[in-house]
Amino acid sequence: MTDDRDTAPRRLGEYVLERRLGGGGMGVVHLARTAGGRLLAVKVIRPEYAGDAGFRARFRREVAAARRVSGAFTAPVVDADPDGDPPWLATLYVPGGSLTDRVEDGGPLGTGEAARLGAQLAEALRDIHRCGLVHRDLKPGNVLLADDGVRLIDFGISRALADSRRLTEQGAVLGSPPFMAPEQLTGGGEVTAAADVFALGAVVAYAVTGRSPFDADGDPFAVAYRVVHEEPDLDAVPGVLRDTVARCLAKDPERRPPVADLLRLGTVARGGGGAVAPHWPDAAGPAAEERRSVPLPDTSPDGRTRRRRRWTAGVTALVALAVAGGGVWVVAPWDDGGTAARETQDAETRDEAAEFRPWELDLRDLGVLDAATGGFSCAPADDGLLCSAGGQLTVLLGPDGTERFRHEGPRDAYGGPTAVTDGGAVYARSDKGVVVLGPDGAERGEIDAPEAAGSLHLLAGGTLALRNGDSTLRFYRTDGLAPAGVWEAPGRYVTATAAHGDRLLVETRDTASGGAPELMLLDPAGRPLWPVPVTPPPETAGALELIGMDGGAAYFQELDPEVPVTTAVLRLALDGGGADAWTRTPLPVPAEPRGVVADGTVYASSLNGRVTAVDAAAGKVLWDRDTGVRVMSRPAARDGALYVSDGEGRLHRLPADGGTADRRGAAHPGTPGLGSDGSAPAPVVTDTGVAYVVTLGNTLYATPVDALAEEDAGGS
C-alpha cells in the first residue's frame, strides 16, 4: 500500500495541510488551515482508490450529499474537488472525538446524557431527511461529540429517498451490521428514513450500555443474523429509555416512530423522567433512576455553547476519522453532580493577614458549560483570580470567589486570546480588538485589532504584544496604548508565541507549504534580536510545539509524525542560535502533548498519571514515574512540588524530585459536561499557599495547600 505520508500534498486548493490527523480504509484526514486561519478537516482519498471509477462515483455522492445537509448537528462542507488528483473534501474541523471512543475509554453514558444524544441525533436526521436523503450509516464511529453537541458525519453511502435501492460495492452490503436495519441487510425492502431510526435506537442502546443490542462477540455474520431474525437484548437499557429504543428497533419499518417524535428524548435528558412514547404522547414511564448521568451541552438557542476544543487537550489517540476528520478524545470518570456554589469549613493558611475560607463555584453560574473543553483557565490577579474561556469570557474573581466583573468577548473568539493582567488592568478580547479594563470592569481604552488571535503577552517595561492577522505582531505601551512597534513575516504565518521578561519568541511557518518552521526572538519594539531565524535541528522527527520559555531558553515538545503524542523534549538556548543551541532529549515513554516547564525542568505527563521529568539543558531524564493519580490534570510546579488534580477534582501534591503523590485533598466531583473528559488545566498555587483548582466536574474551588491530607498508600 502506498505510504500516504510520502505522497500527501502539502497544499490542496487554497488550504495548507498542517498535519495528518489519521487515516481510514479509503482516505487520510489532515488538519488544514485557510488563509484566514480557520481550521478545516480535509479528507484526501488514497491513490489506490482514486483511480477506481466506481469509487470516484461513490465519493461524488458523498460530497453531493454532505453539501446538501447543513443542520446544527452535522459538519458543514467548506469545499471539495471529487474529480481532483487526488479527490478531497474539506469540512469545518470538529474538535471532538467519536462516541465509540468515549464509550470504549470511559464506559457507558448516563441515562440523561444518552437521551440528549438521541435527541440531537434525531435533529440531525430530521435535517438530513428534509434534504431528501437517508444517511444509511449512522453508527457510534460517525457520531462526533463536539463541544456544542453531536455532529453526525460521513455521508459516503447515503442515498436519495427517491432512490432507495440496495447499495452494494463488489457484492457486499455497505454499512455496519450492529447498526443496520434488517431491510438493509436482506435487500428485501426499500431503505427509507426508517432505517436511520433503527440505527438511532441501536446507537442510543450502545451509548447507555456499552454494547450493541445485537451483540454476538464481534462476529459480524452472527450480528447480522440477530438483527434480521432475533429480538434485541435491552435488559441493560434503563427503563426510561427502553420502550423508545425497542420501538426504534422494530423489524417492520412501518412500526418505527418518525424522527420528529424522537426529539422528545430531550425531556428525559432534562430530567423529565417519563418514557418517550412516540405514538402515545400521554403515556408515562418509570421515574428516572438514580444514575451517573452527565448532561450534554444545552443546544437551545439561548444555551448553545460556542466553544472550541484545543486539539492538544489530553491526547492519547486519534479518533473519529471520517468526513469531518475528527479530533482527539480522552476520557475521565463520570460522577453525580449538582454541586452549587458554596463555602466549606474554615481553614488556616500561611497568609497571616486574614483567615481564609475555602469556596467552590459551579462554573455554569458564570456561563461556562464545560470548562475542560472550553479553554477555561485561571491565573493569579493581584489578590484575586483572573479566569477566561478563550476570548469569549473573562471573569475577575476576588480571593473569596466573589465576582468583581465579567466581560463577554466576541462570540466567534474561539481560540483566544486569553485575557492577561498586570495587576492594575485586564486586557481581553473585544469586538474591535483588545479592550483594557480596570479592576472594577470599567473600560479604560481599546486597541483596534479586529484579527487578534493567539496569545497576549505583557513584556517587562510596560509593553503589550499581540498578534493581529496571520503574519503580524503589534506592540503597544501599556501606559497609554501608544504603538511601540510592529513585526511582520511576509509569506509566513505565526503559529506560536511565548514571552519572558522583555523578550518574545515567535514561531512562523511558510504560507505556501505549511512546513519549515522558523523562530525569531524579538525585543519590546518588535526588533529582531537574532541576525537570522533559527530552525529546528535536522534530527527532529516530527512537528515541534512550543511549551514556554524562561530567561535562558525556549522549550518544545516533539510530536510523533503519525499521532500527536510527545516523543522528545527540546531546549533552544536563546543566547546564540544555530544547531549547537539545541538540546534534544528523547522520552522513555510517549506522553500527551501538554508539557510544562519550571526552573529548566520540563514535565511531560499523561492523563493516566505518568510523569517524566527532563533536565532540558543537560539532555537527560531525571525521573519517569507512575504517580498514582488517575485522569491527571496538567501539573503546576511550586515550592519544590508538583500540584495536579484528578478526575474527581481532588488536589494532589507530588514531590518534584519524583515519586507518587504524598498529599491530597477532598473530592470535588461537580457536574461533568459532555466534553469533560479532556485534560483539566493546571491548578494555580499562589505564594500565600492557596490553590485554585478547575475540575472536570465544571467547578472552580479554592483550598489551602496546608490542608491537604497525607496520601493513602497506593495513591488515588
302 is known as an active-site residue: no
Average pLDDT over the chain, rounded to whole? 78
The pLDDT value recorded for residue 389 is 86
Helical H segments across 485-560, by residue range? none
Contact 252, 195 (CB under 8 A): no
> Is residue 661 very low, low, confident or very high in pLDDT (cuts 50, 70, 90)?
confident
CA dihedral 524, 526, 531, 532 (to 10 degrees): 130
Q: Are residues 618 and 664 in the same domain?
A: no
Contact 394, 428 (CB under 8 A): yes
Mean local confidence (pLDDT), 447-471: 92
**Which of 297-301, 499-503, 521-525 shows the lowest per-residue confidence on average (mean pLDDT)?**
297-301
Mean local confidence (pLDDT), 528-540: 90
Count of the separate structural domains present in the chain = 3
User: Which among 183-187, 350-354, 386-390 has the top mean pLDDT?
Assistant: 386-390
Contact 394, 406 (CB under 8 A): yes
Expressed as residue numbers, the domain containing 556 is 536-626
Helical H segments across 145-264, by residue range? 182-186, 193-209, 220-229, 239-248, 259-262
Cell 505527563 sits at which residue?
605
Q: Are residues 121 and 257 in the same domain?
A: yes
Asked whether the predicted pLDDT for residue 481 surpasses 90, the reply is yes
Cell, residue 227 = 438483527
> Rounded to an integer, what distance in angstroms lies between the CA atom of residue 372 and that of residue 389?
10
> Rounded to an integer, what distance in angstroms lies between the CA atom of residue 361 and that of residue 151?
30
The pLDDT value recorded for residue 323 is 28
Q: Examine residue 576 and state whether it is found in any structural domain, yes or no.
A: yes
Q: Examine residue 517 and state whether it is found in any structural domain, yes or no.
A: no
Nearest one of 489, 395, 494 to 452, comparing CA atoms: 494
Asked whether the predicted pLDDT for residue 377 surpasses 60, the reply is yes
230 — phi, psi (to 5°)? -120, 165
> Is residue 71 very low, low, confident or very high in pLDDT (cuts 50, 70, 90)?
low
> Rounded to an integer, what distance in angstroms lies between the CA atom of residue 570 and that of residue 585?
6
Nearest one of 702, 615, 716 to 660, comparing CA atoms: 716
The pLDDT value recorded for residue 34 is 82
The pLDDT value recorded for residue 69 is 66
Q: Quote the crossing angle between the two packed helices 99-106 and 193-209, to the nearest 10°.
A: 20
> Is residue 166 very low, low, confident or very high in pLDDT (cuts 50, 70, 90)?
very low
Q: Among 577, 602, 626, where does a domain finish? A: 626
Mean local confidence (pLDDT), 619-639: 92
Contact 425, 407 (CB under 8 A): no
Nearest one of 632, 599, 633 to 616, comparing CA atoms: 599
Asked whether the predicted pLDDT for residue 128 surpasses 90, the reply is no
* Polymer length of the chain: 716
The CATH number covering residue 134 comes to: 1.10.510.10
The pLDDT value recorded for residue 253 is 92
137, 147, 470, 523: which is the annotated catalytic residue? 137
Structure-model confidence comparison of residues 318 and 116, the more confident one: 116
Residue 555: which H helix or E strand, with range? strand 553-559
Three-class secondary structure of residue 11 per DSSP:
strand
Q: Are residues 568 and 704 in the same domain?
A: no
Cell 527532529 sits at which residue?
540
Mean local confidence (pLDDT), 30-44: 82
Q: Examine residue 10 and state whether it is found in any structural domain, yes or no.
A: no
Asked whether the predicted pLDDT for residue 509 surpasses 60, the reply is yes
The pLDDT value recorded for residue 150 is 86
Q: Among 269, 297, 322, where does a domain finish? A: 269
Q: What is the pLDDT of residues 202-254, one digit of tens each?
A: 999 999 999 999 987 767 778 888 999 999 999 999 988 999 999 999 999 99
> Rounded to an integer, what distance in angstroms lies between the CA atom of residue 220 and that of residue 240?
29
> Is residue 615 very low, low, confident or very high in pLDDT (cuts 50, 70, 90)?
very high
Asked whether the predicted pLDDT for residue 385 surpasses 80, the reply is yes
Beta strands 472-477 and 420-421, pairing class? unpaired
Q: Examine residue 179 and state whether it is found in any structural domain, yes or no.
A: yes
The pLDDT value recorded for residue 623 is 96
> Is residue 175 very low, low, confident or very high in pLDDT (cuts 50, 70, 90)?
low
Q: Are residues 703 and 621 in the same domain?
A: no
The pLDDT value recorded for residue 23 is 61
Cell, residue 14 = 487554497
The pLDDT value recorded for residue 313 is 26
Q: What is the pLDDT of residues 416-427, one digit of tens each?
A: 688 999 988 999
Asked whether the predicted pLDDT for residue 3 surpasses 60, the reply is no
Q: Among 576, 610, 626, where does a domain finish? A: 626
Position 75: which residue type?
A
Q: Are residues 619 and 641 in the same domain?
A: no
Q: Examine residue 642 and state whether it is found in any structural domain, yes or no.
A: yes
**Which of 240-249, 334-343, 590-599, 689-698 shows the lowest per-residue confidence on average (mean pLDDT)?**
334-343
The pLDDT value recorded for residue 86 is 83
> Rounded to an integer, what distance in angstroms lies between the CA atom of residue 67 and that of residue 198?
24
| pTM listed for this prediction | 0.56
Cell 469586538 sits at which residue?
431
**Which of 14-23, 376-385, 434-443, 674-683 shows the lowest per-residue confidence on average (mean pLDDT)?**
674-683
24 — phi, psi (to 5°)? -115, -170
Q: Are residues 621 and 632 in the same domain?
A: no
Contact 177, 110 (CB under 8 A): no
Q: Are residues 113 and 204 in the same domain?
A: yes
Q: Are residues 196 and 137 in the same domain?
A: yes
Q: Are residues 163 and 247 in the same domain?
A: yes
Q: Are residues 160 and 207 in the same domain?
A: yes
Q: Are residues 594 and 659 in the same domain?
A: no
Q: What is the pLDDT of residues 568-583, one digit of tens each?
A: 999 999 986 666 899 9
Q: Examine residue 610 and state whether it is found in any structural domain, yes or no.
A: yes
Mean local confidence (pLDDT), 145-160: 67
The pLDDT value recorded for residue 114 is 92
The percent of residues above 70 in pLDDT, for the chain, comes to 76
Asked whether the predicted pLDDT for residue 315 surpasses 70, the reply is no
Q: Are residues 227 and 197 in the same domain?
A: yes
The pLDDT value recorded for residue 275 is 34
> Rounded to an integer, what distance in angstroms lies between the CA atom of residue 256 and that of residue 254?
6
